[in-house]
A = this chain, B = another copy of it.
Amino acid sequence: MGFFGGLYEFKGYNEPVLVSSVDQVGTKTKIAAALGKYDTVGIDIVSHCVNDILTCGAEPLFFLDYIGMGKMVPEKVEAIVQGLARACRDVGCALIGGETGEMPGLYATPEDYDLVGFIIGVVEKDKILMGKTISLGDAVIGLPSNGLHTNGYSLARKIFGETKSVLNTGYPELGRTLGEALLEPHRCYLHQLKPLLSVIKGLAHITGGGLIDNVPRVLPKGLAAKFDSQTWSVPPIFKLIQQRGNVDQDEMYHVFNMGIGMAVICSTGNVDHLTKALPEARVIGEVVKQVGKARVVID
Protein backbone atom coordinates (compact mmCIF):
# COMPACT_ATOMS: atom_id res chain seq x y z
CA MET A 1 0.00 0.00 0.00
CA GLY A 2 2.78 2.49 0.75
CA PHE A 3 0.24 4.18 2.99
CA PHE A 4 -0.11 5.12 6.63
CA GLY A 5 -2.80 2.55 7.40
CA GLY A 6 -3.57 -1.01 6.37
CA LEU A 7 -6.87 -1.39 4.50
CA TYR A 8 -9.24 -4.33 4.67
CA GLU A 9 -12.49 -4.51 2.72
CA PHE A 10 -15.16 -5.92 4.92
CA LYS A 11 -18.14 -7.74 3.44
CA GLY A 12 -20.28 -10.84 3.47
CA TYR A 13 -21.53 -10.67 7.07
CA ASN A 14 -25.05 -10.15 8.40
CA GLU A 15 -24.51 -8.80 11.90
CA PRO A 16 -20.76 -8.75 12.24
CA VAL A 17 -19.07 -8.18 15.58
CA LEU A 18 -15.39 -7.37 15.41
CA VAL A 19 -13.25 -9.14 17.98
CA SER A 20 -9.76 -7.90 18.69
CA SER A 21 -6.88 -8.81 20.91
CA VAL A 22 -3.37 -7.60 21.65
CA ASP A 23 -0.77 -9.97 23.00
CA GLN A 24 2.94 -10.31 23.45
CA VAL A 25 5.47 -13.09 23.46
CA GLY A 26 7.00 -11.85 26.72
CA THR A 27 10.51 -12.84 27.61
CA LYS A 28 10.38 -15.94 25.42
CA THR A 29 12.11 -13.43 23.10
CA LYS A 30 15.13 -13.52 25.44
CA ILE A 31 15.43 -17.31 25.06
CA ALA A 32 15.09 -16.97 21.29
CA ALA A 33 17.70 -14.19 21.24
CA ALA A 34 20.15 -16.20 23.35
CA LEU A 35 19.87 -19.05 20.84
CA GLY A 36 19.92 -16.75 17.82
CA LYS A 37 16.65 -18.27 16.63
CA TYR A 38 14.18 -15.70 15.34
CA ASP A 39 11.81 -17.60 13.06
CA THR A 40 9.48 -19.19 15.62
CA VAL A 41 8.43 -16.26 17.84
CA GLY A 42 6.21 -15.07 14.97
CA ILE A 43 4.29 -18.34 15.20
CA ASP A 44 3.97 -17.84 18.96
CA ILE A 45 2.39 -14.44 18.73
CA VAL A 46 0.01 -15.26 15.87
CA SER A 47 -1.16 -18.45 17.64
CA HIS A 48 -1.64 -16.56 20.89
CA CYS A 49 -3.78 -13.89 19.22
CA VAL A 50 -5.80 -16.34 17.10
CA ASN A 51 -6.58 -18.53 20.13
CA ASP A 52 -7.66 -15.47 22.13
CA ILE A 53 -10.32 -14.33 19.66
CA LEU A 54 -11.35 -17.93 18.97
CA THR A 55 -12.63 -18.02 22.56
CA CYS A 56 -15.33 -15.57 21.41
CA GLY A 57 -16.10 -17.76 18.39
CA ALA A 58 -14.31 -15.39 16.02
CA GLU A 59 -12.20 -16.24 13.02
CA PRO A 60 -9.22 -14.04 12.20
CA LEU A 61 -9.38 -11.34 9.54
CA PHE A 62 -6.09 -9.53 9.81
CA PHE A 63 -3.02 -9.09 11.95
CA LEU A 64 -0.50 -6.33 12.68
CA ASP A 65 2.78 -6.72 14.47
CA TYR A 66 5.06 -4.50 16.50
CA ILE A 67 8.74 -5.23 16.94
CA GLY A 68 10.76 -3.09 19.34
CA MET A 69 14.57 -3.32 19.26
CA GLY A 70 17.46 -1.43 20.77
CA LYS A 71 19.33 -1.65 17.51
CA MET A 72 17.70 -2.52 14.21
CA VAL A 73 19.16 -5.67 12.67
CA PRO A 74 17.43 -6.26 9.33
CA GLU A 75 18.13 -10.02 9.26
CA LYS A 76 16.52 -10.49 12.65
CA VAL A 77 13.45 -8.48 11.67
CA GLU A 78 13.22 -10.44 8.43
CA ALA A 79 13.33 -13.79 10.24
CA ILE A 80 10.68 -12.66 12.72
CA VAL A 81 8.41 -11.37 9.96
CA GLN A 82 8.86 -14.57 7.93
CA GLY A 83 7.59 -16.56 10.92
CA LEU A 84 4.68 -14.13 11.32
CA ALA A 85 3.79 -14.32 7.64
CA ARG A 86 3.87 -18.11 7.59
CA ALA A 87 1.72 -18.35 10.70
CA CYS A 88 -0.78 -15.81 9.30
CA ARG A 89 -1.00 -17.74 6.04
CA ASP A 90 -1.68 -20.96 7.95
CA VAL A 91 -4.75 -19.44 9.59
CA GLY A 92 -5.99 -17.51 6.54
CA CYS A 93 -5.29 -14.17 8.16
CA ALA A 94 -3.89 -11.13 6.32
CA LEU A 95 -0.71 -9.59 7.72
CA ILE A 96 -1.60 -6.04 6.72
CA GLY A 97 0.72 -3.87 8.71
CA GLY A 98 3.36 -3.51 11.30
CA GLU A 99 5.70 -1.17 13.04
CA THR A 100 9.34 -1.67 13.86
CA GLY A 101 10.76 0.65 16.46
CA GLU A 102 14.47 1.21 17.01
CA MET A 103 14.95 2.57 20.49
CA PRO A 104 18.55 2.99 21.54
CA GLY A 105 19.00 2.77 25.29
CA LEU A 106 15.60 1.29 26.05
CA TYR A 107 16.56 -2.37 26.27
CA ALA A 108 19.04 -4.09 28.57
CA THR A 109 21.24 -5.46 25.78
CA PRO A 110 21.50 -4.94 22.02
CA GLU A 111 20.05 -8.45 21.54
CA ASP A 112 16.86 -7.72 23.45
CA TYR A 113 13.66 -7.14 21.58
CA ASP A 114 9.93 -7.18 22.10
CA LEU A 115 7.26 -8.69 19.88
CA VAL A 116 3.61 -7.69 20.11
CA GLY A 117 0.70 -8.82 17.96
CA PHE A 118 -2.63 -7.27 17.29
CA ILE A 119 -5.45 -9.21 15.68
CA ILE A 120 -8.90 -8.40 14.37
CA GLY A 121 -11.40 -11.15 13.76
CA VAL A 122 -15.11 -11.36 13.21
CA VAL A 123 -18.05 -13.36 14.48
CA GLU A 124 -21.73 -13.17 13.61
CA LYS A 125 -23.60 -11.65 16.54
CA ASP A 126 -25.76 -14.75 17.10
CA LYS A 127 -22.67 -16.98 17.13
CA ILE A 128 -20.68 -15.17 19.82
CA LEU A 129 -19.36 -17.57 22.42
CA MET A 130 -20.00 -16.04 25.81
CA GLY A 131 -20.24 -19.03 28.08
CA LYS A 132 -23.76 -17.95 29.09
CA THR A 133 -25.22 -21.40 28.52
CA ILE A 134 -22.61 -23.15 30.66
CA SER A 135 -24.37 -25.02 33.46
CA LEU A 136 -23.79 -27.36 36.36
CA GLY A 137 -22.43 -30.75 35.29
CA ASP A 138 -21.00 -29.59 31.94
CA ALA A 139 -17.75 -31.24 30.95
CA VAL A 140 -14.39 -29.51 30.62
CA ILE A 141 -12.26 -30.98 27.87
CA GLY A 142 -8.56 -30.17 27.64
CA LEU A 143 -6.51 -29.80 24.48
CA PRO A 144 -2.78 -30.37 24.96
CA SER A 145 -0.29 -27.52 24.83
CA ASN A 146 3.13 -27.74 23.17
CA GLY A 147 4.94 -26.58 26.28
CA LEU A 148 5.01 -23.16 27.94
CA HIS A 149 3.44 -21.46 24.90
CA THR A 150 4.08 -17.79 25.71
CA ASN A 151 3.78 -17.72 29.50
CA GLY A 152 5.96 -18.35 32.50
CA TYR A 153 9.26 -17.44 30.87
CA SER A 154 10.27 -14.98 33.55
CA LEU A 155 10.05 -17.74 36.15
CA ALA A 156 11.77 -20.30 33.90
CA ARG A 157 14.60 -17.83 33.21
CA LYS A 158 14.94 -17.12 36.91
CA ILE A 159 15.42 -20.83 37.59
CA PHE A 160 17.71 -21.79 34.71
CA GLY A 161 19.24 -18.51 33.62
CA GLU A 162 19.47 -17.89 29.91
CA THR A 163 23.04 -18.55 28.91
CA LYS A 164 23.66 -20.43 25.71
CA SER A 165 25.35 -23.30 27.55
CA VAL A 166 22.40 -23.83 29.88
CA LEU A 167 19.93 -23.67 27.00
CA ASN A 168 21.99 -26.08 24.89
CA THR A 169 22.10 -28.73 27.64
CA GLY A 170 20.24 -31.87 26.68
CA TYR A 171 17.86 -33.58 29.13
CA PRO A 172 16.91 -37.24 28.66
CA GLU A 173 13.40 -36.62 29.98
CA LEU A 174 12.89 -33.87 27.37
CA GLY A 175 14.49 -35.89 24.58
CA ARG A 176 16.15 -32.66 23.45
CA THR A 177 17.84 -29.57 24.82
CA LEU A 178 16.25 -27.22 27.34
CA GLY A 179 16.31 -24.40 24.77
CA GLU A 180 14.48 -26.49 22.19
CA ALA A 181 11.79 -27.43 24.69
CA LEU A 182 11.40 -23.81 25.83
CA LEU A 183 11.16 -22.47 22.28
CA GLU A 184 8.48 -24.95 21.16
CA PRO A 185 5.90 -22.71 19.44
CA HIS A 186 2.53 -21.82 20.89
CA ARG A 187 -0.13 -24.08 19.41
CA CYS A 188 -3.00 -22.68 17.42
CA TYR A 189 -6.37 -24.41 17.91
CA LEU A 190 -8.35 -22.65 15.17
CA HIS A 191 -8.44 -25.42 12.57
CA GLN A 192 -9.39 -28.10 15.08
CA LEU A 193 -12.05 -26.12 16.91
CA LYS A 194 -13.67 -24.03 14.18
CA PRO A 195 -15.83 -26.86 12.78
CA LEU A 196 -16.94 -27.74 16.32
CA LEU A 197 -17.92 -24.31 17.63
CA SER A 198 -21.66 -25.03 17.38
CA VAL A 199 -21.41 -27.74 20.06
CA ILE A 200 -19.04 -25.79 22.32
CA LYS A 201 -20.43 -23.68 25.17
CA GLY A 202 -17.25 -21.90 26.16
CA LEU A 203 -13.52 -21.77 25.51
CA ALA A 204 -10.72 -20.65 27.80
CA HIS A 205 -7.30 -20.03 26.33
CA ILE A 206 -4.82 -21.09 29.03
CA THR A 207 -2.20 -18.33 29.14
CA GLY A 208 -0.67 -16.35 32.03
CA GLY A 209 -2.47 -17.34 35.19
CA GLY A 210 -2.92 -20.94 34.02
CA LEU A 211 -6.13 -22.91 34.48
CA ILE A 212 -6.72 -21.09 37.75
CA ASP A 213 -7.12 -17.59 36.32
CA ASN A 214 -8.29 -18.30 32.79
CA VAL A 215 -11.10 -20.81 33.16
CA PRO A 216 -13.21 -18.55 35.46
CA ARG A 217 -13.24 -15.87 32.75
CA VAL A 218 -15.74 -17.96 30.81
CA LEU A 219 -17.80 -19.35 33.70
CA PRO A 220 -21.15 -17.82 34.67
CA LYS A 221 -21.45 -16.46 38.21
CA GLY A 222 -21.77 -19.06 40.95
CA LEU A 223 -20.13 -21.82 38.94
CA ALA A 224 -16.65 -23.24 39.33
CA ALA A 225 -14.51 -25.80 37.52
CA LYS A 226 -13.15 -28.90 39.20
CA PHE A 227 -10.22 -30.62 37.53
CA ASP A 228 -8.91 -34.11 38.06
CA SER A 229 -5.16 -33.75 37.57
CA GLN A 230 -4.87 -37.53 37.00
CA THR A 231 -6.71 -37.22 33.70
CA TRP A 232 -3.83 -35.72 31.80
CA SER A 233 -0.08 -36.03 31.98
CA VAL A 234 1.92 -32.91 32.75
CA PRO A 235 4.68 -32.60 30.10
CA PRO A 236 8.25 -33.22 31.30
CA ILE A 237 9.32 -29.57 30.80
CA PHE A 238 7.01 -28.50 33.62
CA LYS A 239 8.25 -31.27 35.92
CA LEU A 240 11.81 -30.22 35.22
CA ILE A 241 11.03 -26.56 36.01
CA GLN A 242 9.22 -27.50 39.21
CA GLN A 243 11.99 -29.78 40.42
CA ARG A 244 14.92 -27.48 39.57
CA GLY A 245 13.19 -24.39 40.91
CA ASN A 246 11.60 -26.10 43.88
CA VAL A 247 8.33 -24.43 42.87
CA ASP A 248 5.24 -25.40 44.82
CA GLN A 249 2.32 -27.02 43.05
CA ASP A 250 -0.02 -24.05 43.47
CA GLU A 251 2.43 -21.68 41.86
CA MET A 252 3.03 -24.11 39.00
CA TYR A 253 -0.72 -24.22 38.19
CA HIS A 254 -0.91 -20.47 38.50
CA VAL A 255 2.01 -19.58 36.24
CA PHE A 256 2.01 -22.34 33.62
CA ASN A 257 -0.57 -24.08 31.46
CA MET A 258 0.72 -27.44 32.80
CA GLY A 259 0.02 -29.15 29.50
CA ILE A 260 -3.45 -27.81 28.72
CA GLY A 261 -3.50 -25.12 26.02
CA MET A 262 -7.23 -24.71 25.63
CA ALA A 263 -10.13 -25.69 27.86
CA VAL A 264 -13.36 -26.53 26.04
CA ILE A 265 -16.64 -26.56 27.91
CA CYS A 266 -19.59 -28.54 26.53
CA SER A 267 -22.65 -30.42 27.69
CA THR A 268 -21.99 -34.02 28.68
CA GLY A 269 -24.10 -35.06 25.69
CA ASN A 270 -21.52 -33.62 23.30
CA VAL A 271 -18.43 -35.13 24.92
CA ASP A 272 -18.33 -38.17 22.64
CA HIS A 273 -18.76 -36.06 19.54
CA LEU A 274 -15.96 -33.71 20.58
CA THR A 275 -13.46 -36.31 21.77
CA LYS A 276 -14.00 -38.31 18.58
CA ALA A 277 -13.32 -35.20 16.49
CA LEU A 278 -10.35 -34.23 18.68
CA PRO A 279 -8.38 -37.43 19.31
CA GLU A 280 -5.87 -35.72 21.63
CA ALA A 281 -8.58 -34.20 23.80
CA ARG A 282 -9.42 -35.56 27.24
CA VAL A 283 -12.18 -34.80 29.68
CA ILE A 284 -10.20 -33.16 32.46
CA GLY A 285 -12.88 -31.71 34.67
CA GLU A 286 -16.46 -30.64 35.18
CA VAL A 287 -18.50 -27.57 36.01
CA VAL A 288 -19.53 -27.55 39.65
CA LYS A 289 -21.25 -25.22 42.09
CA GLN A 290 -18.91 -22.60 43.51
CA VAL A 291 -18.23 -23.17 47.19
CA GLY A 292 -16.30 -20.42 48.95
CA LYS A 293 -14.06 -18.17 46.92
CA ALA A 294 -12.28 -20.68 44.72
CA ARG A 295 -13.60 -20.86 41.17
CA VAL A 296 -11.10 -23.53 40.16
CA VAL A 297 -10.32 -26.64 42.15
CA ILE A 298 -7.57 -28.99 41.05
CA ASP A 299 -7.66 -32.41 42.67
A257 interface contact, C-beta 8 A: no
Query: A22-45 vs B: 1/0 string, CB under 8 Å?
Result: 111011011000000000000000
The CB with the most chain B CB atoms within 10 A, among A5, A16, A23, A61, is that of: A5
A22 and B105 form a contact (CB under 8 A): no
The CB with the most chain B CB atoms within 10 A, among A8, A103, A105, is that of: A103
A167 interface contact, C-beta 8 A: no
Query: A62-76 vs B: 1/0 string, CB under 8 Å?
Result: 101110100000000
Please measure, in the bound complex, the distance between the C-alpha atom of A294 and the C-alpha atom of B118, giving whole angstroms: 35
Residues 207 to 264 of chain A near chain B (Cβ within 8 Å): 217-218
Q: Inside 8 A of A114's CB, which chain B residues have their CB? A: 68, 101, 103, 106, 114
Please measure, in the bound complex, the distance between the C-alpha atom of A114 and the C-alpha atom of B116, giving whole angstroms: 11
B30 and A5 form a contact (CB under 8 A): no
Choose one: B3, B20, B24, B157; the contact of A66 (CB below 8 Å). B24
B56 and A7 form a contact (CB under 8 A): yes
Please measure, in the bound complex, the distance between the C-alpha atom of A96 and the C-alpha atom of B26, giving whole angstroms: 21
A204 to chain B, nearest CB (A): 8
User: What residue of chain B has the Cβ atom nearest to residue A105's Cβ?
Assistant: B108
Please measure, in the bound complex, the distance between the C-alpha atom of A29 and the C-alpha atom of B107, giving whole angstroms: 12
With known contacts A68-B24, A68-B68, A101-B26, A7–B106 Cβ distance under 8 A:
no
A18 interface contact, C-beta 8 A: yes
B24 and A101 form a contact (CB under 8 A): yes
Residue positions of A touching B, CB distance < 8 A: 2-11, 15-24, 26-27, 29-30, 51-53, 55-56, 58, 61-62, 64-66, 68, 96-99, 101-108, 112, 114, 116, 118, 120-122, 125, 128, 130, 154, 157-158, 204-205, 217-218
Given contacts A4-B56, A9-B15, 14 further A-B contacts (CB under 8 A): A3-B130, A4-B52, A8-B17, A9-B16, A9-B18, A9-B125, A10-B10, A10-B16, A20-B62, A20-B97, A22-B98, A24-B66, A24-B99, A105-B157
Q: List 30 A-B contacts (CB under 8 A).
A: A3-B217, A4-B21, A4-B56, A4-B205, A5-B20, A5-B52, A5-B121, A7-B17, A7-B18, A9-B18, A9-B125, A10-B122, A11-B15, A18-B61, A20-B64, A20-B118, A22-B64, A22-B99, A30-B106, A66-B66, A66-B116, A68-B68, A99-B116, A101-B114, A102-B154, A103-B154, A106-B112, A107-B107, A107-B112, A114-B114
